[in-house]
Amino acid sequence: MSLVSQHAMFRDAQRVGYALGSFNVVSLEMTYGVIDAAEELRSPVIVAVTDGHRDYYDFRALADGICAAADAASVPVGVHFDHGLTLGSISRALKMGFTSVMYDGDGSPWQQRLDETRAVTELAHGVDALVEGALSAQSREMTGNPTGDWALPPDDLVEEFLSATSVDILAIGEGTTALDPARVSAIANIPGVFSSLHGGSQLPDETLASMIGAGLGKCSVYNKIARQSMASAADYIQGGGQDLLQLGVAIRTGFAAGVAKELQRMGSAGHA
C-alpha cells in the first residue's frame, strides 16, 4: 500500500469505526518501529514529525528516510507534519512529500489565526495534502481558563473557523481535556471534516473508546511510547549489552511494542 493520500485513510476509519494512530518520531529507529507494528497488525498508520522537536533532527534527512520507509511499507502509511509553527516550515514539509500538515497558531489573535490557517490550506490543497487546524488558544481566552487545558470553544466559533479556513481536520483537545462525545459526534457529521485528539498517552481506555464511538478520526500518542522505548533500551544496557547496533534494535522494538498497543486500542488492527 505504501505512502498514501490520507483522504482515503480518514474516510475508511470513519466508515468502519476506528481511529487512525499518529505517532511522532525523531529517528529512523522510531520510524521503523511504527511501521513494524502497523505491518504486524495489518493496520493503517500515520508517522508524524513535530516542528517543536526540530532541534533533535535534521529535517531533510529524517523526512527523506520517513517517506522512503513509508513508500516501502506493505500497509497504508500517512506522513504528517505536526504543530507546524510557520508557513515556511509547513511549505518545506509539503515539498518533501508529507501528506498532511498541522498549523498550530497557538497564541495568535483570532483573525490572524484564520488568515494564516487559510494560507496553509490553500498551499496544502494544491498538492492534495490534508490540513489540521486547532483552536486551543481561543478556548483558553474565551472560557477564562488560563491553565492550559485544551478544549473546543463555542459552536459558533468552531463553525466560523471551519468556514474561514477550509481545514480538513479539527484538533478537538488533549488527553487531559474534559471531552464531550457529543461534540466529537457533531464534528464527525460535518461533511469533509475529521477530528483529531492530541496527548493520547494520558487517555484511559474507556474514554478513548467513547471518543472513537462518537467518530474520532485520529489520536496522537508520543510520551507513553517513548517511555516504553527508553525502558527497552535501558533493559538492554543493564543486561550487559555493549553493541550500539543492538541498542538501536532495542529502541526500535520497544517503540514498536508501544505503537502496537495503541493501534489495538484505536481499533485499527486488521483494517489495512
Residues 222, 15: Cα–Cα separation, whole Å = 26
28-41 and 59-72 helices, crossing angle to 10°:
20
Q: What are residue 100's DSSP bridge partners?
A: 80, 130
Q: What does the DSSP 8-state code read for residue 106?
A: T
Cβ 200 vs Cβ 176: under 8 Å: no
Catalytic residue among 82, 115, 149, 235, which? Answer: 82
Q: What are residue 145's DSSP bridge partners?
A: none
Decide: residue 257, CB within 10 A, 0-12 exposed, 13-18 middle, 19+ buried. Answer: middle
Residues 14, 214: Cα–Cα separation, whole Å = 10
Cβ 168 vs Cβ 131: under 8 Å: yes
Task: Mark whether 82 is an active-site residue.
Answer: yes
* Maximum CA extent, the chain: 59
* Number of residues that this document lists for the chain: 272
The grid cell for 188 is 464527525
Q: Angle CA(101)–CA(104)–CA(108) in degrees, nearest 5?
A: 145
Q: Are strands 20-24 and 130-134 parallel, antiparallel or unpaired?
A: unpaired
Cα Rg for the chain, rounded, in angstroms? 18
Active-site positions?
82
